[in-house]
């Protein structure tokens, strides 16, 4: 055989896969985008909305980068029709948004504001007219300020009860159009950053015992809300949490390390997902808390573990890479080297495997049959060119890698039913103000102009193909 004919044969046999071999998602996979009320709505004084802990926190000089606040933010309260068109242009089939508790109960409890749900009525009608299915989060951190000032917010179980009352009211009013409710967004983050570290609202630095009590009351609020949604929502209303779990990735995928990563994921989420799904605090959690363990009753644990219909997971990065270890816990988290890569937000480590292992651990550990990825996305230092185009190839790189791992999970049968990209558009990024951009659409906060970035085209293609592109 001549060298030439050899080459010809090789190119025939090794011809590259064509487009039809792209890694696809299950048919009917639900593609959406996500936002939250305080980050986009603005209109903080309209329709008798009450103040939230974030209003006060953001207005305190020094709390937010460049002293931003979300009084106007994306002015979504007025521009929601245009924003629904942005979703439609992506071909998105679902939208995860949050309802502002202080709009509905301006003082947190007591009588509902008669105008409190009007905005959401309008938004829901607009979404449904555009063929977009609404998924509503009930708490994305904007606690009515009155509850904080009256009895210490989540430090008191009166807040857990007020939350359930509000959740039931919303379910009663909106479950004709909203079929899926998320109770609380990321318990872990607002408990730690708002009540331990003090950087987020309400800006507290509580003792370990108080922090554990807050954590317990938040989990209790979740369970009470599940129950009141069941009693007040229409038959068939589905409910679950949206948690940013501590995801542990096996450093090397051996059976022993995989088992260690599962054990670590169960233990390190003991205060949230584990207690919600098992109805008990793990022995290690209680031993570690010692005298600082939360006060709770057996009935509390029953409430917290009220049956849910799905688990929502916000996936940004692995919390730990772990290996099996011959110690009491059976695992060892490895330190992150200084050179570990991150995105524009320094905390946002690039670890796409979290998108495989997070849902897989949840399905395996607790036999969860329905999972939604309720958030995934990244900040990027988007720079418009002279024509105003944003070529955010770094965001595309991040998303493609995470979605490849998600596809790996669904192709192995991990029951992920949908994915909500964070975020539809740039918005108020909490203590980072408007300085970190997570959107598929760029927002000019002076003019409120929205412009699609290259990642919007990328996501539109993903949705159209139902595959990683």
Contact set for ligand BGC, span 165-184 (CB under 6 A): none
User: Applying CB under 6 A, what is the total number of residues that bind ligand BGC?
Assistant: 11
Q: How many residues belong to the chain?
A: 469
At its nearest, how many Å lie between ligand BGC and the CB of residue 167?
Answer: 18
Closer to ligand BGC at the Cβ: 14 or 66?
66
Draw the binding track, 326-345, toward ligand BGC (x: CB under 6 A; -: no contact). Answer: --------------------
449 Rama class: left (phi>0) / alpha (psi -120 to 50) / beta? beta
Q: Of these residues, 186, 262, 267, 353, which one is catalytic?
A: 186
Contact 229, 173 (CB under 8 A): no
Distance CA 62, CA 69 (A): 11
Nearest CA to 426 out of 397, 452, 463, 457 is that of 452
Draw the binding track, 226-255, toward ligand BGC (x: CB under 6 A; -: no contact). Answer: ------------------x-----------
- 186 is annotated as an active-site residue: yes
The reply to whether 186 sits near ligand BGC by the rule CB under 6 A is yes
Nearest CA to 97 out of 424, 443, 459 is that of 424
Going along 384-448, which residue ranges are E strands? 416-422, 441-444
At its nearest, how many Å lie between ligand BGC and the CB of residue 189?
Answer: 5
The reply to whether 429 sits near ligand BGC by the rule CB under 6 A is yes
Contact 407, 462 (CB under 8 A): no
The reply to whether 185 sits near ligand BGC by the rule CB under 6 A is yes
Pairing of strands 248-250, 311-314: unpaired
Q: Give me the phi and psi of 422, to 5 degrees please.
A: -100, 110
- 375 is annotated as an active-site residue: yes
Closer to ligand BGC at the Cβ: 314 or 407?
314
Contacts of 109 (CB under 8 A, 6+ apart): 146, 147, 158, 162, 165, 166
The reply to whether 36 sits near ligand BGC by the rule CB under 6 A is yes
Draw the binding track, 262-301, toward ligand BGC (x: CB under 6 A; -: no contact). Answer: ----------------------------------------
Contact 459, 440 (CB under 8 A): yes
Q: Of these residues, 41, 210, 267, 375, which one is catalytic?
A: 375
Figure out which of the listed residues 56, 93, 150, 189 binds ligand BGC, where binding follows CB under 6 A: 189
Closer to ligand BGC at the Cβ: 39 or 455?
39
The reply to whether 38 sits near ligand BGC by the rule CB under 6 A is no
Contact 382, 392 (CB under 8 A): yes
At its nearest, how many Å lie between ligand BGC and the CB of residue 375?
Answer: 6
The reply to whether 422 sits near ligand BGC by the rule CB under 6 A is yes
Find the Cα–Cα–Cα–Cα dihedral 436, 439, 443, 445, rounded to 10°: -40
Q: Which residues bind ligand BGC (CB under 6 A)?
A: 36, 39, 185-186, 189, 244, 314, 375, 422, 429, 438
* Active site residues per annotation: 186, 375
């Amino acid at each position: 055989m001549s060298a030439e004919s050899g080459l010809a044969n090789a190119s025939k046999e090794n011809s590259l896969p064509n487009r039809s071999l792209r890694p696809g998602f299950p048919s009917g996979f639900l593609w959406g985008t996500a936002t939250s009320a305080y980050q986009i709505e603005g209109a903080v004084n309209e329709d008798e909305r009450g103040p939230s802990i974030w209003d006060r926190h953001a207005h305190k000089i020094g709390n937010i980068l460049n002293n931003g606040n979300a009084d106007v933010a994306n002015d979504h309260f007025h521009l929601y029709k245009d924003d629904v068109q942005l979703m439609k242009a992506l071909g998105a089939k679902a939208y995860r948004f949050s309802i502002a508790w202080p709009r509905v109960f301006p003082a947190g409890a007591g009588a509902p504001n008669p105008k409190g749900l009007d905005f959401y009525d309008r938004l829901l009608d607009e979404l449904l007219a555009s063929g977009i299915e609404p998924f509503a989060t009930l708490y994305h951190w904007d606690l009515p300020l009155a509850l904080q000032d009256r009895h210490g917010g989540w430090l008191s179980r009166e807040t857990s009860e007020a939350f359930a009352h509000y959740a039931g009211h919303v379910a009663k009013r909106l479950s004709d159009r909203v079929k899926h409710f998320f109770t609380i967004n990321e318990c872990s983050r607002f408990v730690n950053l708002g009540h331990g570290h003090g950087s987020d609202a309400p800006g507290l630095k509580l003792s370990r015992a108080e922090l554990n009590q807050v954590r317990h009351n938040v989990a209790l609020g979740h369970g009470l809300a599940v129950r009141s949604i069941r009693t007040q929502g229409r038959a068939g209303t589905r409910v679950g949490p949206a948690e940013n779990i501590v995801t542990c990735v096996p450093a090397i995928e051996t059976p022993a390390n995989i088992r260690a990563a599962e054990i670590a994921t169960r233990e390190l989420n003991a205060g949230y997902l584990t207690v919600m799904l098992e109805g008990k605090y793990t022995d290690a959690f209680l031993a570690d808390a010692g005298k600082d363990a939360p006060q709770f009753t057996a009935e509390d644990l029953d409430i917290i573990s009220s049956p849910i219909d799905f688990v929502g997971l916000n996936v940004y990065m692995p919390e730990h890479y772990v290996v099996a270890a011959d110690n009491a816990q059976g695992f060892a988290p490895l330190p992150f080297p200084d050179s570990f890569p991150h995105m524009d937000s320094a905390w946002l480590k690039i670890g796409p495997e979290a998108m495989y292992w997070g849902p897989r651990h949840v399905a395996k550990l607790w036999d969860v049959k329905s999972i939604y990825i309720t958030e995934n996305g990244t900040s990027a230092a988007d720079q418009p060119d002279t024509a105003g185009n944003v070529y955010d190839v770094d965001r595309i790189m991040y998303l493609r890698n995470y979605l490849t791992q998600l596809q790996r999970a669904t192709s192995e049968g991990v029951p992920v039913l949908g994915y909500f990209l964070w975020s539809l558009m740039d918005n108020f990024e909490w203590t980072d103000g408007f300085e970190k951009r997570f959107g598929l659409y760029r927002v000019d906060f002076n003019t409120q102009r929205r412009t699609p970035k290259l990642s919007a085209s990328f996501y539109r293609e993903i949705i159209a193909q139902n595959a990683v592109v």
